[in-house]
Structures are given as structure tokens and as C-alpha cells.
Chain A
Amino acid sequence: MSSSDALRDPVRFIDERTASAPLIRKVMRYAFPDHWSFLLGEVALYAFIVLIATGIYLALFYNDSTAHTVYHGPYQPLDGQEMSAAYKSVLDLSFTVKAGLLMRQTHHWAADVFLLAIVLHLMRVFFTGAFRKPRELTWIIGLVMLFTALLEGFLGYSLVDDLLSGMGIAIAYGVALSIPLIGGPLALAIWGAPFPGKPAFFSRMYIAHVFLFPILIGTLIAVHLALVAARHHTQFRETPRHTDRRLIGIPTFPGQVPRSLALMFGTFALLFFLGGLIQINPIWLWGPYHTYLGTNGAQPDWYLGWLIGALRLMPSFDVVIGHVTLIPNPFWGGALFPLLVLAVLAAFPWVERRLTGDRRAHNLADRPRDAPTRTAFGVAFLTWVFLIFVFGAADRLFVLFGLNYDLQLYVFRIGIWVVPLFLFFLTRRICRDLQAAERTAHLQEEGEEQAERERSVVASQAPG
């Protein structure tokens, strides 16, 4: 029995009703440039799929109500305590719903890994110059997705109404309030009333988290992929045949599909292993949130750590005229800092065009060393953000290693400027040295070949 016969009927069925055989054929032989770092964006996509799937499951059990209820479940330390229905629903999901805890933990790990993959992918795109014309729109869409994902993750773990995430929402309220001019009205609009806000606030978070932002991210992913497909992916100049005009790659079918599927199932496997083996956000240990409670060592999830670092690093000052506050302190670390990072990243393609005068379209990806100034800037900028992020954990560094907090404060306040500056020059030097070394090696090779040719000429001319 030949396989082509078994498939002929389904293929005919589909094409007769959708007229898509030409498209399918084209898609099947579409070329994917091959490099391992090009797969990082796909990892993000697969993490997103896990988020959707596990998220649907969680949404079927979650109750977004802040109504007071009393817990009488199996977890003894909370027995008889008053808490919101939302928190109770997550406790019940974790303790009394079979596989509920696995789905919850997988969902949370998937969120952490989703953002990890986006950040790694962003770094790859940046350091290979793949944001340049004609891919600026793709870059902007990616940035919007990154910042939406940050907010989406924050909303997700805040829905649980546990002590840790509740403290985080209070800080978000403080940051919203601190925005000049509009802060008060803005915070009141979002929360519906002064903190903790109207009961509807939790519904607003819920709807944003399970509907509005997933639709936004999903749509942006579709547009992002469509743009990538339309312009084709960038490629490295591995051989002289790889040019700005000619793309050489692996066809979708049968080459890329098993690899992508393997990556997908591999990502799923990692997320389920994490969800099963490593505990994440044990909300029963934190207890329910009340505005008058606080715990030491409260932190946001890792992808918001840069904000807590900035908030803690800022020296104490409000911008004040007389007795009237104009710009409260949290604005700088909580609002201006992330906006600045977004602005720098978003403007970068155009700034680079301006500074280098290069307005050409590029389909070849740079190796990082081939663009020393860009790579150096990227390293410096990332280091700046990273050091601020590290300071966010300075109190735990003190608890664990005894590093004096005040000392860390002073060192970091200076270090976040000095270290990136130093790394900028060092990275640029390294890139240029690598380039020079390659040129020298290349010239050496050419020189040896030349010498070889001259020797053979002389040998053939020697008197016989």
C-alpha cells in the first residue's frame, strides 16, 4: 500500500474547498535560515501556548470576587481565617483539585519562561542588528509585546490576593499615583476608589488578564510572525553565497517542521517538569493580603525586579514647591525608568540610522563583533538595567552573605553608571580586536598561499 494514495483524498478535499494548495505548496518550501539563536523567539511562542492552555484550565476554577469568606479547608494554618473568595478559590485549586496545583505551577513557570525567552530573543535581535530596515515595525511590535507581557504577568499573580502580590498591587497604586498631573485621577479611575479600591477592581484585573491582554498579545504575535514571513528572516553571511538578496535556508517541510515540533514539545516538557518538581509561589505560606500587613523579603516576579531595584535605589526626595508635592518619589523608579528603557529600545533603529548614516535595507545579520559600537552600547545598556535589578535583592544579599546594605547602596548608586561606561569601552575594544585578528588571520592565509604559489613557480623554472 503506497502512502501517497492514502493522502490524496484529504489533500483534494482541502484544496477543493479552500483553494489553498498553491499556498500550502509555497509554505512547505519556504526557506528558514538556520541558526540556533533564531529559535529563541519560537520558544516564547510555545511558552505562550502553554500559558493559554493552562490559563484556560485555571480560569475555570478561579473566582474573581473580593467578598469576605472564611476558610475551612485542609490547610491547617489558615483554618478559620477570613479571606477573599479569590484567594480561597486559588487555595482550593491548589489543595483540593486534582492536578490543579500542577496546572497553576506550570502556568506560573510558563510566565517566567515566556519573559525569559522574549528577553533572550530581544538580545539576539539587537546584537545581530535584525531590527534594521525593513524590520523596524517587527521590532516595535516585539517591544509592545514585551511590555504587555510584563503587565500581564503582574496581573496574573496579583489575582491571587495573597500577602506578597497584594503588597505589589499597593506599590503599583503608589506608582500610578505618582505620575505627575494625572496620577490621582488615573489611580482612582483604575481602582475605582482609594486603595484597595472597589470590588470591581479585581474583576478589571481578571478581565484584562484572561481576555484583553491575551487577545492583544495573540494578535500581535500573529502580526509579528506575518511580518517576519513577509520579509523573510535575516541570515548570517556564512558563505559568499549568502547575500542581502539571496536567502539560503531549510524548507518548512520536511526540514523545519520536525525541528519546530521538537522545540515545542521540548518547551512543554521543561515547563511541566518545572511545574511538577519545583514549587513556585506557594500562596498558602504567604496567607491572605490585608493592607495593614507586610512581610520582609517581599519581591515581585523576576521580570519586574528592575523596578523594585530602581525604587529602592532612588534617594529620598519628592519634587516639592513649598508644601505642595509635584512629583512623588516612586515616579522616577516605577514609571519614568521603565518608560525610558522602552523609549531607548524603541527609538534605537532610527537613532542608529541617524548616527551611522546607514539607511539601506539589511537582510544579512551582523555578528556582534561586526558592529562594535552597537554591541558595546547594548552591553552597557543591559548592564545598567541588570545592576539596578541586582540591587533589588540587596536585602537578601545582606541576609545571606552579610554584605552591608548601606555599603551596597553607595556602591550600586555609583556602580550603575561607572560599570556600564567601562564595559562600553571594553566591549568595543574587544569587538575591534576580534575583527582585527580575523583580518590578520585572513591576510596571513593569503600571504601563505601567495608564497606557496611563488615557490611552485620558482621550482618549475629551476634548471632541470
Chain B
Amino acid sequence: MKRRSGSLLAVMAILLGGASAAQAQPQSGIVRPTYEPRYPSRELGAELYAGNCATCHGIAGQGITHPRPGAGGVLGQGPPLRGVGALAADFYLRTGYMPLANPHAEPEDLQQGDRVLLSDKEIRSLVSYVASLAPGPAIPTPDPGAGNISMGQQLFAEHCAGCHQIVGRGGFVTGARVPELQTVPATQIAEAVRIGPYLMPRFSTQQISDAQLNDIVKYVLSVRHPDNRGGWGIGNIGPIPEGLVTWWIAGPLLIGLCLLLGKRFGR
């Protein structure tokens, strides 16, 4: 009896797990050329683009506004990539937000980071290809060491905390989930600020200069290890975990104390 229910659970897990994985990945998987060169190259990028990206982003990155069926049964629809530069390509590929099977899938449906489907060589190739489509911004090189953490805190509070939470623990925006920032590397922070991926606003150098961006990056890197001098940080999101501690740690302990000192029925 136990063995039967165990295998039933396994089957369910496979079905459910398989279903969600299938939804996230391009339906046909990553299309790779039969022979991949040793080093990243624009040509490899072009081949990968043709096999995996053109379905939604169109030939030569011109974009597809009206959904049209493409390779692997994917209904293609995507913004143009001409002019987005290495900056955007690097960001979306390294975070794993792209490639995407379903144009309507927003980051809230994805698991950030653990669905990077391309190797580093492939990413570099794709980046150089997309950058070659039209002149666009290069991959930024933020220098958090040069940043001022107090300025970073102020800038983050003014521009970012509303969505990302004051210490970058993520949050909710009507229609989207805002990611937390504890594991984002410095380059990706800078890229995201400049692009404004998905529903995030974009901040150009007019509004946030490169020096200010260094400040912000320094601050965001610091929220990985906030100053928790008061003890166990319990998530650094404020009163919700504090309330849980009150009810589920203090509460049982106090009731236990009363039970110890007072009488129960039948004693």
C-alpha cells in the first residue's frame, strides 16, 4: 500500500514538474547548430538567434507586433532588438529571462537565475550579434568601490524602494512581481537601471549619472548583508515576521509557562 502511494506521488511530481518546466522552456528546447566553434563569435550568435529568438523578435531584430506562428509551435511576438545594444542582450540572457517560450509570461512566472539555458560562450555570441544589429549601449562597468553608500541609500530610497523595498527584499506592483536584489551582481544592477526591463522604469544617465549609479550599486550590494546588530534579522521586511515571532515563538512559550505553573483539568 505504501509503495503504491509512493509511486503515485512520483508520477504526479513528474507530471506537475514536467508541465511547469515545459511552460518555461522554449517548447522545442534550445536550438543549437550541430557544430559550435570553440570561441564566441557573431556568426554563432546569428545562428542561435535564428533558431531561438527570431520567432518572436523577428528577422534581424525588427520585432513582431502581431502574433504569428513560428518554429516549434511558438506563437511569436516580441519587441524589436535593433539598437538595444549589448547592454540589454547581456542582461536578459544572463538573468535567464530570455529565451522565453510564451511572450505573455512575465518574470513573476519565472524563477530568476536558475533557468539560464545558454552557456557563457553562447551568451557572448548572442550579445555580440544583437549589438551588431544597430548601434546601442555597451555592457556597463559599474565601480561600486568608488560609490558613496549614503548617496546610494538616498537615491535607492527615492527611485527604487517603492517597488524593490528599502533593503531590496522585492515586492508587488499591480500586475507584476518585483524581484529581490540580494543575489544580483553589480553589472546586472547597472544594466537593469539603464534598461528598465519588463515593467521596471528605465533611468538614463540624464537622471542617474554613472557616478550615482556606482552609489546605487554599492548600496544594493550592501543589502546582501544588512547591519543586523539587533540579533536574528528575520527577513528584514519589518512587522510581518515580527508578528509571526510574537504569535509562534512568544505565544507558545508563554502558554507553556502558564501550563507549567497553573492547573490543567484532571490533574
Contacts and interface: CB of A to CB of B under 8 A. Distances in A.
Given A40-B258, A112-B250, A296-B161, A278 B234 contact: yes
A451 interface: no
A287 B155 CA distance: 12
Nearest to B251: A116
Interface in A31-66: 34-40, 43
A342 interface: no
B38 interface: no
Contact of B171 (A116, A276, A293, A399): A399
Contacts of A455: none
Contacts of A263: 257-258, 261
B219 interface: yes
Interface residues of A, number: 66
A84 to B, nearest CB: 15
B243 A305 contact: yes
Contacts of A298: 238
B263 A34 contact: yes
Contacts of A116: 246-247, 250-251, 254
A266 B228 contact: no
B229 A101 contact: yes
Given A35-B262, A279-B231, A297-B238, A399 B177 contact: yes
Contacts of A43: 254, 257-258
Contacts of A282: 226-228, 230, 233, 236
A28 interface: no
Contact of B262 (A36, A78, A81): A36
A164 B166 CA distance: 10
Nearest to B169: A297
B17 to A, nearest CB: 15
A262 B261 contact: yes
B262 A38 contact: yes
Contacts of B36: none
Interface stretch (B76-84, B146-154, B194-202): B146-154
Contacts of B56: none
A399 B240 CA distance: 13
A34 B259 CA distance: 11
Contacts of A253: none
Interface string B140-180: 00000000011011100110011111110111111001101
Contact of A297 (B165, B233, B264): B165
B33 interface: no
Chain B's interface size range is 35 or more
B227 A285 contact: yes
A163 B229 contact: no
B157 A287 contact: yes
Nearest to A42: B258
A295 interface: yes
B163 A296 contact: yes
B240 A299 contact: yes
Given A163-B157, A274-B245, A393-B240, A295 B172 contact: no
Contacts of A195: none
B263 A81 contact: no
Contacts of B6: none
Interface centre among A40, A236, A287 (most CB of B within 10 A): A287
A293 B184 CA distance: 24
Contact of A36 (B161, B171, B227, B258): B258
Nearest to B219: A77
A81 B265 CA distance: 60
B165 A266 contact: no
Interface string A397-415: 0110010010000000000
Interface in A74-117: 75-81, 94-95, 101, 105, 109, 112-113, 116-117
Given A278-B232, A286-B166, A302-B246, 20 more contacts: A36-B258, A36-B264, A38-B262, A43-B258, A80-B150, A94-B230, A105-B230, A109-B246, A112-B243, A163-B161, A238-B265, A263-B257, A278-B245, A279-B228, A285-B166, A293-B158, A299-B239, A300-B239, A302-B240, A405-B174
Lowest 9 A-B CB distances belong to which pairs? A302-B243, A296-B171, A36-B262, A279-B230, A395-B172, A295-B166, A39-B258, A77-B153, A295-B161
26 contacts: A34-B263, A35-B262, A76-B149, A77-B152, A78-B150, A78-B153, A81-B150, A266-B257, A276-B231, A278-B245, A279-B232, A279-B233, A282-B236, A285-B236, A292-B158, A296-B162, A297-B165, A297-B171, A299-B239, A299-B240, A302-B242, A302-B247, A305-B239, A399-B172, A405-B172, A405-B174
